[in-house]
Structure 1
Amino acid sequence: MVPFYKTLPFLDYYKNEDENAKDLAMTKEMYPADTLQYQSAVENRLDELEYEGSWIYDEYPDRQRLKAEADAIAGHFISDQSGGCFIKAVVGMIFNCELCRRRCRYRRYRRFW
């Protein structure tokens, strides 16, 4: 006989959320120092966009807007001596991955509640 609280299938749905957060934190610990700076800048900008209630959760965001946001974040780190193309690529990748992670988490929470 199964206890009543285990008959509902979605109660264990968020159990993996903590494990994924631990894996992400462990992965971030392995980043080089400059990449950690890029990651924190991306997280801060996405927090600002979430607070503004902006386009971040649109179903189909504009590719140019995503690229412009990533380039604006990378612009703070590019100097005359550094390789701007590499920094833009790294920041763009981090920005898109973080945006995807937040959007998927937002959809999962909205689906059940």
Structure 2
Amino acid sequence: MEKRRQIKRAWTTGSGHENSIYELSGPPITYDDLAAMLSDVLGRAVPVEHVDDDRYAEIMAGAGVPEPIIPFLVAIQRAIREGALDVVSDDFEKLLGRPVTPVPQAIAAMVERLRG
């Protein structure tokens, strides 16, 4: 945890970054893309169910999400669907000073960690 605090401090207090905005993104990836990557890692199909906003709200309510939060989550998903996050930038790599970990590799590492 202390290492994370040090990294955060370095990013937020380092000189040369004043009044800068960084887009920490990579190539746009769809939920279908993510499911395919996870399917490859798990060795079994991971289905994706595309639903409209009303159905998504029902699913969130059924999962126990507090009612006041649901419109916010629906708005986020709508914005994603409409391309609001489809911004390609190399800012993340510049800040890291190295290439970002490819998403399939990151998914494989997370699954491996969860499997223990």
Q: TM-score, normalised by structure 2?
A: 0.29
- More relative contact order, 1 or 2 (CA 8 Å, 6+ apart): 2
